[in-house]
C-alpha cells in the first residue's frame, strides 16, 4: 500500500486479513500473526508511517482516519478469533483431564465391593448390653485414663494393699509418679456413677458399664493386654445377695442359652463384701467335663458381690440407707466361650478368614 492508501485498498486489505485470521486454528498461530500485524513493516504500519508525508492536511486527516478504522477492524477480528480459540483450548484441556470411571463402576457392579461389619468383640458388647437393657439396666461409660484414686483407692484398695498385685498396671507419665494410669478394670466407672448420682441426687442406680481395660500381660490363649470388661452396679433400697444371684443367672441363660447356668463361689475382692466368683456351665462340654474346664464342667467368668460399705463411704452414700451389688466380667472371654475360640489372640490378629466368620 502506498502513501496514497485508498479506501478501496484498505478495505480489500482488511477483508484478506480477516479471512487469514479466521482460518487460524491455534493460539500459537494467532500469536505469530499478531506480531506481524503490529509491526511497522506491515501494510497498515507502513501506511500509518507515511501519513506525515501527505501534504494536504485534509487528505492527511482523512487517510489517517481510514487507516485507524482499518486497524481497529483488523484488531476486532483478531480479538474475536482469540476468544474462540481460547474457549476451545479450555474445553480441550478439560476433556484431556477427564477421568473415565466407567470401568470402575462396571467392575463394582459385577462384583460389588464388600461392606465390612462390626468386629466380634463389638458385636458381643452390643449383645451383652441388649440383655442387660432388657432387664432394666442403663448403659454408662467411663474414662480409660484414670487416677489412682478411682482405679484403686475409692475401691477400697489403698496404696500397699496386696490386692494391687492382681493388677499389673500401666502407668502414664503425667503428674506425680504412679498416680495416673490406664484403668485395669471397669470398676472405677462405678465410682464415677456413684459420685454423680450423689451430686445430682439421682440414686438409685441400675447400670452396666462396658469398656476397654489395660494390663501389662503378655498375650496368650486366654489373656490380652488390652481387653474389654462389662461392669454392673445396682444400688437401691433393700438389695440382697439373692438379687445378685438372680441377675447373674438370668443373664447367663439369656446370653449363652437356656442350658447354660451359673453358680457363685466364695472369693475375695476389696470392693465387695461378701464377694464371689461366678462360674457358668462349660460351653464346650455343656457340663460333662472336658479339657477346657479341667473336667469340672464349670468355667469362671467374673467376679461379683455386695458393695462394700467402705466404697459407699468413699463417695458419700449412707450404707445404712442404701445397699447394692456389683459384678464385672470379660467381654472378650464371653465371645471366646460362646463361639468356642481356642486362642484369644485371634481377636486382635485381624485375619479376615477369622473375622469374616462372625
Ligand atoms: N474388677 C474385678 C477384676 O477386674 C472384677 C470384679 C469383681 C468386678 C467383683 C466387680 C466385683 O464389680 O464386684 O478383677
Residue owning the nearest CA to atom 7 of ligand 1: 303
Task: Kindly state if the Cβ of 189 falls inside 6 Å of ligand 1.
Answer: no
pLDDT tier for residue 39 given thresholds of 50, 70 and 90 = confident
Tell me the mean pLDDT in the region 165-187. Answer: 94
14 and 141 inside one domain:
no
Looking at the chain, the whole-number percentage of residues with pLDDT higher than 90 is 70
Does one domain contain both 240 and 161?
yes
Range list of β-strands (E), 251-322? 262-269, 272-281, 298-307
Is 70 exceeded by the pLDDT of residue 1? no
Look at residue 303 in the predicted model and tell me its pLDDT.
98
- Residue 129, pLDDT score: 98
The CA 199 to ligand 1 mean position distance, Å, reads: 24
pLDDT of residue 101: 82
- Ligand 1 site, residue 272, Cβ cutoff 6 A: yes
Pocket flag, ligand 1, residue 305 (CB < 6 Å): yes
Residues 214 and 92 both lie in one domain: no
Q: Which of 42, 43, 41, 64 is nearest to 52 (CA)?
A: 64
Ligand 1 atom having least distance to the Cα of 271: 13
Note the pLDDT of residue 7: 80
Between the CA of 54 and the centroid of ligand 1 the distance, in Å, is 113
- Of 68, 98, 128, which closes a domain? 98
Higher pLDDT, 183 or 29: 183
Q: Among 24-28, 103-107, 191-195, 322-326, which stretch is predicted with the lowest mean pLDDT?
A: 103-107
Does residue 109 lie in a domain region? no
pLDDT band at 10 (very low <50, low <70, confident <90, very high): confident
Domain edge (last residue) among 36, 68, 98: 98
What's the 25 CA to ligand 1 centre distance in angstroms?
A: 83
Last residue of a domain, one of 67, 98, 129: 98
| Whether residue 263 has pLDDT greater than 70 | yes
Q: Is the pLDDT of residue 2 over 50?
A: no
Q: How far apart are CA 24 and CA 27, in angstroms?
A: 8
Cell numbers representing residue 182 in the block? 490406664
Environment class of residue 287 by beta-carbon count within 10 Å: exposed (0-12), middle (13-18) or buried (19+)?
middle
Task: Indicate whether residue 327 lines ligand 1 (CB < 6 A).
Answer: yes
Q: Is residue 115 part of a domain?
A: no
Question: CB neighbours (10 Å) of residue 38?
Answer: 14
pLDDT at 5: 64
Distance of CA 76 from the midpoint of ligand 1 (Å):
89
Could you tell me if residue 336 is inside a domain?
yes
**pLDDT above 60: residue 177:** yes
- Judge if 282 and 160 occupy the same domain: yes
Domain that residue 31 falls in:
7-98
Q: Is residue 1 domain-resident? A: no
- pLDDT per position as a tens digit, 97-120: 888 888 777 777 877 777 889 999
Cβ of 336 closer than 6 Å to ligand 1, yes or no, is no
Q: Whose CA is nearest to atom 4 of ligand 1?
A: 185
241 pLDDT band, cuts 50/70/90, is: very high
Among residues 190, 193, 265, the alpha carbon closest in space to that of 231 is found at: 190
Are 66 and 207 contained in the same domain? Answer: no
> By three-state DSSP, how is residue 309 classified?
helix
CA distance 60 to 55: 7
Q: How many domains does the chain have?
A: 2
87 and 140, same domain (yes or no): no
Pocket of ligand 1 contains residue 187 by CB under 6 Å: yes
Q: How many other CB atoms are found less than 10 A from the CB of residue 92?
A: 10
44-84 confidence digits (pLDDT tens): 888 888 888 888 889 888 888 888 888 888 889 999 999 99
**39 and 147 part of one domain:** no
Residues 222, 292 within the same domain: yes
Domain assignment present for residue 153? The answer is yes
Q: How far is the CA of 111 from the centre of ligand 1 (A)?
A: 48
Distance 305 CA to ligand 1 centre (A): 8
Residue 235: inside a domain, yes or no?
A: yes
Domain identity same for 280 and 329: yes
57 is a domain residue = yes
Same-domain status, 129 and 88:
no
- Regarding whether 314 and 208 lie in a shared domain, the answer is yes
* CATH code: domain of residue 329: 3.30.930.10
Q: How confident is the model at residue 4 (pLDDT cuts 50, 70, 90)?
A: very low
**104 in a structural domain:** no
Q: Is 269 in the pocket of ligand 1 (CB under 6 A)?
A: yes
303 in contact with ligand 1, CB cutoff 6 A: yes
Q: Indicate whether residue 5 lines ligand 1 (CB < 6 A).
A: no
Distance 98 CA to ligand 1 centre (A): 61
Work out which ligand 1 atom sits closest to the CA atom of 184: 4
- Looking at the fold, whether 124 and 73 belong to one and the same domain comes out as no
Q: Give 209's pLDDT tier (boundaries 50, 70, 90).
A: very high
Amino acid at each position: 500500500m502506498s502513501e496514497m492508501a485508498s479506501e478501496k485498498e484498505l478495505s480489500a486489505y482488511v477483508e484478506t486479513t480477516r479471512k487469514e485470521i479466521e482460518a487460524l486454528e491455534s493460539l500459537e498461530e494467532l500469536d505469530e500473526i499478531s506480531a506481524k500485524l503490529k509491526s511497522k513493516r506491515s501494510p497498515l504500519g507502513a501506511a500509518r508511517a507515511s501519513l506525515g508525508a501527505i501534504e494536504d492536511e485534509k487528505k492527511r486527516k482523512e487517510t489517517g482516519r481510514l487507516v485507524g478504522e482499518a486497524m481497529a477492524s483488523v484488531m476486532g477480528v483478531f480479538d474475536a478469533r482469540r476468544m474462540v480459540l481460547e474457549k476451545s483450548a479450555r474445553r480441550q484441556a478439560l476433556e484431556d483431564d477427564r477421568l473415565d470411571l466407567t470401568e470402575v463402576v462396571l467392575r463394582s457392579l459385577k462384583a460389588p465391593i464388600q461392606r465390612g461389619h462390626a468386629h466380634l468383640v463389638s458385636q458381643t458388647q452390643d449383645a451383652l448390653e441388649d440383655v442387660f437393657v432388657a432387664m432394666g439396666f442403663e448403659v454408662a461409660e467411663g474414662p480409660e485414663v484414670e487416677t489412682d484414686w478411682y482405679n484403686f483407692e475409692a475401691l477400697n484398695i489403698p496404696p500397699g494393699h496386696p490386692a494391687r498385685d492382681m493388677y499389673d498396671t500401666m502407668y502414664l507419665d503425667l503428674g506425680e509418679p504412679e498416680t495416673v494410669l490406664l484403668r485395669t478394670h471397669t470398676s472405677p466407672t462405678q465410682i464415677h456413677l456413684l459420685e454423680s448420682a450423689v451430686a445430682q441426687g439421682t440414686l438409685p442406680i441400675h447400670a452396666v458399664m462396658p469398656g476397654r481395660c489395660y494390663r501389662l500381660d503378655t498375650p496368650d490363649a486366654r489373656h490380652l493386654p488390652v481387653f474389654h470388661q462389662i461392669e454392673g452396679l445396682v444400688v437401691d433400697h433393700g438389695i440382697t445377695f439373692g438379687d445378685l444371684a438372680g441377675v447373674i443367672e438370668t443373664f447367663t441363660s439369656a446370653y449363652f442359652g437356656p442350658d447354660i447356668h451359673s453358680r457363685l463361689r466364695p472369693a475375695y475382692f476389696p470392693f465387695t463384701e461378701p464377694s464371689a466368683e461366678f462360674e457358668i456351665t462349660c460351653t464346650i462340654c455343656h457340663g460333662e467335663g472336658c479339657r477346657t474346664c479341667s473336667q469340672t464342667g464349670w468355667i469362671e467368668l467374673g467376679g461379683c458381690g455386695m458393695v462394700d460399705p467402705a466404697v459407699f463411704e468413699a463417695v458419700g452414700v449412707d450404707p445404712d440407707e442404701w445397699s447394692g451389688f456389683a459384678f464385672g466380667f470379660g467381654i472378650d472371654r464371653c465371645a471366646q466361650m460362646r463361639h468356642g475360640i481356642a486362642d484369644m489372640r485371634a481377636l486382635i490378629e485381624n485375619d479376615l478368614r477369622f473375622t469374616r466368620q462372625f
